[in-house]
Chains A and B, each alone.
Chain A
Amino acid sequence: MRRDLGWWALLLPAFLMMTVLYVAPILQVLAISVTEPTLGTGNYERLLSNAGVQRVILTTLRIGLLTTGIALLLGYALAYVIALARPAAQRWWLLGVLLPLWISVLVRAFAWVTLLRRQGLVNQGLQALGAIDSPLQLVWNEFGVVVGMVHYMVPYAVLPMLASMREIDPRLLVAARGMGASRGMVFGRVFLPLSLPGVVAAAVLVFIFSLGFYITPAILGGGKTLMTAEWIKLQILDLVRWGMGAMLATVLVGAILATLAVFSRVVDLRRLFGARA
């Protein structure tokens, strides 16, 4: 018992840091949301009455779902190719997937702006080809935000799905063909169902990330496409309406916890965060 106590004592500094620097501020945010400007649930009532808040929440959900869907499709194709590649090729593929993760999100957002703006490479290229007469509006709208967010999210979609695909015994695929299944049937009836846990895990991860995105929507949305995080910043830093900002922050935390709670019944969440089942 005494020995155990010693081990727990070692955890104390980390525990204190988490509570003082993380849990306490979150509780404070929760408190502000029901005390500023006056005590009560007035801020939360705005969720039902204020069209502006509702629009921000709907935009966030729409962009989040769209980003999740596209990132999963692209990520699944990538993970599939990587999982079936030879080990030497796999390393190069993985490097290609992980490399963007090491580049600042700010740099990547501005890179997309230069590519997608009216005089950007994409518009100029399309005009040179004669595909369009006047430049398309590719950035400072939802399209631009989704492009930037998908780009950021694909690696996070690939990794859980790849882990799940790697656990599939390749002999099962050979066996299925030996039993008369075509390549399409092997994929549809054996590979896809067996990789599904990874798909669900990736979906949860990407969707939760998407809800709280700040820098990418702020830069690629150009202030016109407001998502939750930017709206909270606007309330607190520009309008100094702490109560409203704290309220939406609390709703965001609540939404994330609810998503996790729902999916924890479907998938083993420990796997999502890297633990071995």
Chain B
Amino acid sequence: MSAGLSPGAGHALELAGLTRRYGAFTAVQDVSLSVASGEFLTLLGPSGSGKTTILMMVAGFTEPSEGHVRLDGRDITVLPPERRDFGMVFQGYALFPHMTVAENVAFPLRVRGISRAARDEKVKAALDLVQLDRFADRKPAQLSGGQQQRVALARALVFEPALLLLDEPLSALDKKLRGELQEELKTLHRRIGRTFINVTHDQEEALRLSDRVAILDHGRLVQQGTPQDLYERPKTRFVADFLGRSNFLAGTVREVRPGAMALLAGATRLVQAVPEGSPRLALGAPGVLALRPEKITLLAAGETADTEVTGAIAAWSYHGTGFALAVQTADLGLLQVALPAWRAPIAPTEGMPVRLGWPADASVPVAEDSHAA
């Protein structure tokens, strides 16, 4: 660990009933969220979901119409941004083009009136942290995109901020570099143990980096939880669709028993596990189940599953690690199926009849979205 950046000084943030209106348009609607000290939280949503507006309210650039922002219990809702002491990596990095890398990183220290000697030491430590010490005297224009991103990171961390805010930090980079920097960012977070709040529309990035993800849609907080929690147990159709891919199976509830229920879609019986404490659907009510393509298996002759359905392969493609099949069924429409390619039980051809099956806990009941047309 470098001398300039001490680990473990994370701070907790709380958003209470945060709302932001622009005229008649509500960009953020009643969002309450808490971020624990040292946590990596990602605000995930499509463009226009209000995630950036929330970050700007946390940073102090946008004032909430209603609600409060609290840092370690202290209300900072109206504190101007320059007095919040938050580090921020801006979209497009916003590096100062007339300053060298070292001068860019030193900027937050200069405006705080820190002496030259202390400044030099901290700048060196921050550049070491992101492995850019050799580039201290270059101008930002002489650096690659990934290096610029790291300068922005060093500049945001150099003054040991209470909180690090990241606004789409990796969106300007190509896919391979993005993957590398995701790993670096995650390692960095573990090393310095500070509280990170990240904003992205990239669901893969959110899943890989975060301790916790908050999913936003149309200015509302739809669901929050660990990446695994959100992927495995989406509460709404939007979440299931936005995080990865899902099949949606619509049916009518026909049987309700402790721990399980069954829906009928045409002649197909959909068996659904209902864990203890989760909301149950009433008998006769319509329901929608979300089912991940990789949880569907191809049934061999004589093999059985909780839910079984027959169909024919309508289209298929090969992706190296697996096959993606689109199977046309009579009762459930077109089903997306992901089949591992290694020792696949079949060589797919169009029109080939197949029997599909999945266990009762593979699918999950989801609510239709309130704003859906």
Contact = CB atoms under 8 A, between A and B. Distances in A.
Interface of A: 169, 171-172, 174-182, 185, 189-190, 193-194
Contacts of A175: 88, 90, 94
A180 B112 contact: yes
B110 A189 contact: yes
A62 to B, nearest CB: 33
A174 B62 CA distance: 11
Contact of A174 (B86, B94, B96, B155): B94
B137 interface: no
Contact of A179 (B80, B88, B91, B98): B88
A182 B94 CA distance: 17
B286 interface: no
B130 to A, nearest CB: 16
The list of the 8 closest CB pairs from A to B, nearest first, reads A175-B94, A181-B111, A179-B108, A171-B94, A180-B82, A178-B88, A180-B111, A193-B98
Contacts of B98: 193-194
Contacts of A172: 94, 96
A166 to B, nearest CB: 15
Contacts of A171: 90-92, 94
A76 to B, nearest CB: 17
Given A177-B82, A178-B59, A189-B110, 19 more contacts: A171-B94, A174-B90, A174-B94, A175-B88, A176-B96, A177-B80, A178-B60, A178-B61, A178-B82, A179-B82, A179-B87, A179-B159, A180-B82, A180-B112, A180-B159, A181-B82, A182-B82, A189-B111, A193-B98
B202 interface: no
Interface class of chain A by DSSP: helix
A198 to B, nearest CB: 13
Given A179-B155, A181-B111, A174 B85 contact: no
Q: Which of A172, A177, A179 lies at the interface centre, i.e. has the most chain B CB atoms within 10 A of its CB?
A: A179
B145 interface: no
A5 B210 CA distance: 65
16 contacts: A171-B91, A178-B59, A178-B60, A178-B61, A178-B81, A178-B82, A178-B88, A179-B82, A179-B107, A179-B155, A180-B82, A180-B83, A182-B82, A182-B111, A193-B98, A194-B98
B48 interface: no
B284 interface: no
Nearest to A169: B94
B322 interface: no
A178 B86 contact: yes
A174 B61 contact: yes
Contacts of B81: 177-178
B97 interface: yes
Nearest to A170: B94
B111 A179 contact: yes
Interface in B64-102: 80-83, 85-88, 90-92, 94, 96-98
B160 to A, nearest CB: 12
Interface string B94-130: 1011100000000110111000000000000000000
Interface string B162-205: 00000000000000000000000000000000000000000000
Contacts of A182: 82, 111
Given A171-B90, A171-B92, A182-B82, A176 B97 contact: no
Contacts of A190: 96
A199 to B, nearest CB: 13
A179 B92 CA distance: 16
